[in-house]
Chain A
Amino acid sequence: MDFEPKIVAFVCNWCTYAGADLTGTSRIKYAPNVKMIRFPCTGRIDFMLLMKAFANGADGMIVSGCHPNDCHYTSGNFHARRRWTVFRSLLEFMGVDTERIAFTWVSAAEGAKWADVVNSTVEKVRALGPCEAYKNADYE
């Protein structure tokens, strides 16, 4: 059976979720592999949620929110950016594949960009194959 990647998207309510909505109302087709989880702000996207997604079988992830200076709450994305920087470095240091996590800014007007982000992430993860190492850490 062909491998269909499972992608979880952690997105903020105000920009990327609205942007993805625009993708739909613009009738732009994109890969159906993505499951979106809506957060009030990128600042709310706890690093533990990303680890839990890997543990529960996600093959890839998209983490996305408002562009810098566009945050509905002024600074949530700035705080998130620092946290992602550090978290990415930690994952790399532990040997977890950070290629599987796409961090992007997608505004409410960037419906087409959202389709691109999803499609490119799906293709990238499809090429990488299923994410088994983390999920099966207990059974190796």
Chain B
Amino acid sequence: MSKLQDTARSLLDAGEVKVAIGYGEGSVGRVRPLFVTDAAGAQGLIYDGRCTQNLAVYTYKKETAAMGKPAVTAGVATMRALMRLVAERQLREGDFIALAVVGDEVTVCRTLSEMENWLAAAAPKPREADMEMIARIEAMTPAERWAFWRGEMDRCFRCYACRQACPLCYCTQCTVEVNQPQWIPVGATVQGNLEWHAMRAMHLAGRCIECGQCGDACPVDIPIHLLTVKLAADVRNVYGAATGMARDETCAMSIFKPDDRENFIG
């Protein structure tokens, strides 16, 4: 039995948590989220390179939140999402336990201080493949960039898997579903898709923790996460703000400095 399974079993046995949220074997070599409510089920928990889905989403989704206090298997991205949810007052200390995992090592984090320390030591970086692709797009001419994104948006059929996979898209009513005013047309048109994805990127500016799950969840492989990851990199470079690292961080878009950069304003 792995250390992760052992840890989850003892937490469930002790009644410290009601459910262990982690990864389990799925079909055709894939992994799926696993919700373990009894100690015996803990043997299904795994953690390996395939386990990239951000499990922080299940801390607030209605059905899973109703299961009771969770112990969440947390790689770096999931941990950052949990911390960001704390910073945005969606979770509180004691609402959850994080089982911080690196390879076979498991650290049980009960307090926010433990999580912050673990994150600081983990020193998260954006995914290399994402940054490479962003650099490639930035090297294009504006017309090529437009053609690239127009082509990608042409395939989007608005299933909103990107939103559902995002740990920070927790609004109970999304602007895309508002119809007074109707900001974004309901049908999947290129322009509407552009508006939807640009809006989502803007709403995540200064908040995105760069897990890339919106792009990974896309059934037609639109690299939609590049928009949010690009803005996350900008916010970090321009305003020096980290996301998902500490409980008391703000959002770079809701604060300002009088001497913020404005080299484009005449």
Contact = CB atoms under 8 A, between A and B. Distances in A.
Interface in A77-96: 78-79, 81-96
Contact of A68 (B138, B142, B238, B258): B258
A102 B266 contact: yes
A103 interface: yes
A70 to B, nearest CB: 11
Interface stretch (A21-29, A31-39, A130-138): A130-138
Which of B201, B202, B266 has most chain A Cβ within 10 Å? B266
A78 B256 contact: yes
B113 interface: no
Nearest to A68: B258
A138 B185 CA distance: 12
B264 to A, nearest CB: 6
B39 interface: no
Contact of A79 (B198, B238, B256): B256
Contact of B258 (A78, A133, A134, A137): A78
B62 to A, nearest CB: 28
B133 to A, nearest CB: 12
A60 B258 CA distance: 28
Interface in B96-155: 134, 137-138, 140, 142-150, 153
Interface in B187-246: 189-191, 194-195, 198-199, 201-202, 205-206, 227, 230-231, 234-235, 238-239
Interface residues of B, number: 45
Nearest to B238: A85
Given A78-B260, A85-B238, A94 B265 contact: no
Contacts of A73: none
Contact of B227 (A78, A93, A95, A117): A93
A138 B143 contact: no
Interface size range on A against B: 35 or more
Interface stretch (A2-10, A12-20, A47-55): A47-55
How would you classify the secondary structure of chain B's contact residues: helix, strand, loop or mixed?
Answer: helix
Contacts of A83: 202, 253
Contacts, number: 114
B143 to A, nearest CB: 7
A69 B253 CA distance: 18
Given A94-B149, A95-B145, A96-B146, A82 B265 contact: no
A75 interface: yes
Interface of A: 47-48, 51-52, 55, 68-69, 75, 78-79, 81-98, 102-105, 117, 133-134, 137-138, 140
Q: A-B pairs with the 4 shortest C-beta distances? A: A95-B146, A95-B145, A78-B256, A137-B191
Interface of B: 134, 137-138, 140, 142-150, 153, 183, 189-191, 194-195, 198-199, 201-202, 205-206, 227, 230-231, 234-235, 238-239, 252-254, 256-258, 260-262, 264-266
Given A85-B234, A88-B264, A89-B231, 11 more contacts: A52-B183, A55-B195, A79-B253, A82-B253, A85-B264, A94-B146, A95-B144, A95-B150, A103-B266, A105-B266, A133-B150
